[in-house]
């Protein structure tokens, strides 16, 4: 019966620890997005890269010449 007593003791310790822990610690308010959790900062960096490329592309420019990018200093 020793294993039954150990199980009851373990469960009791877990329940007491859970009850004594403040709710804010048990349930953090901000959860990171699944893409960050699984892939780190790579999706975010790709998003920023895509947005920067989109900003540099002039909408009035002919879309067949996407590879031509004017530098910001006018060269």
Total number of domains constituting the chain: 1
Label residue 70 by pLDDT band (50, 70, 90).
low
> Containing domain of residue 39, as a range?
2-61
Residue 73 within a domain = no
Q: Is the pLDDT of residue 74 over 60?
A: no
Q: For 24-34, b where at least 16 C-beta lie within 10 A, e where not — what string?
A: eeeeeeeeeee
Q: What are the backbone dihedrals phi and psi of residue 22, each rounded to the nearest 5 degrees, phi first?
A: -60, 150
Question: What pLDDT is stored for residue 33 in this prediction?
Answer: 81
Residue 66 within a domain = no
2-43 pLDDT per residue, tens: 788 999 999 999 999 999 988 888 777 777 788 788 888 888
Q: Is the pLDDT of residue 73 over 70?
A: no
Question: What pLDDT is stored for residue 64 in this prediction?
Answer: 52
Residue 31 within a domain = yes
Cβ–Cβ under 8 Å, residues 36 and 44: yes
Instruction: Tell if the pTM clears 0.85, that is, is over it.
Output: no
Residue 26 within a domain = yes
Residue 68 within a domain = no
Residue 9 within a domain = yes
């Amino acid at each position: 019966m020793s294993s039954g007593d150990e199980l009851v003791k373990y469960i009791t310790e877990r329940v007491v620890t859970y009850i004594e822990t403040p709710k804010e610690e048990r349930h953090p308010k901000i959860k990171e997005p699944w893409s960050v959790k699984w892939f780190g900062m790579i999706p975010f960096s790709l998003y920023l890269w895509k947005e920067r490329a989109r900003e540099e592309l002039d909408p009035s420019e002919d879309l067949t010449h996407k590879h031509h990018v004017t530098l910001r200093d006018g060269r």
